[in-house]
Amino acid sequence: MTIPPWHALHEAACARGESTYRDPATGYTVFTRVAHLARGKCCGSACRHCPYDHEAVPPAR
């Protein structure tokens, strides 16, 4: 299994308590697990680091 390039960036950002990091492939700002836990629930946007198992994400059509 290949570890994606963003994995280490996400883990480092979480270790620092940061809410976001920059995805190296897209340049997009991505919320970390820390940000999602602070929110307290799944927002339904199918976020990459959702700690709530994407429970509010609607099923695919």
For 32-59, the pLDDT digits (tens) are: 999 999 999 999 999 999 999 999 999 9
- Which long-range contacts does 26-34 make (Cβ < 8 Å, 24+ apart)? 30/6
Residue 37 in tokens = 């836990």
What pLDDT is recorded for position 31?
A: 97
What's the pTM? 0.86
**Could you give phi then psi for residue 31, rounded to 5 degrees?**
-70, 140
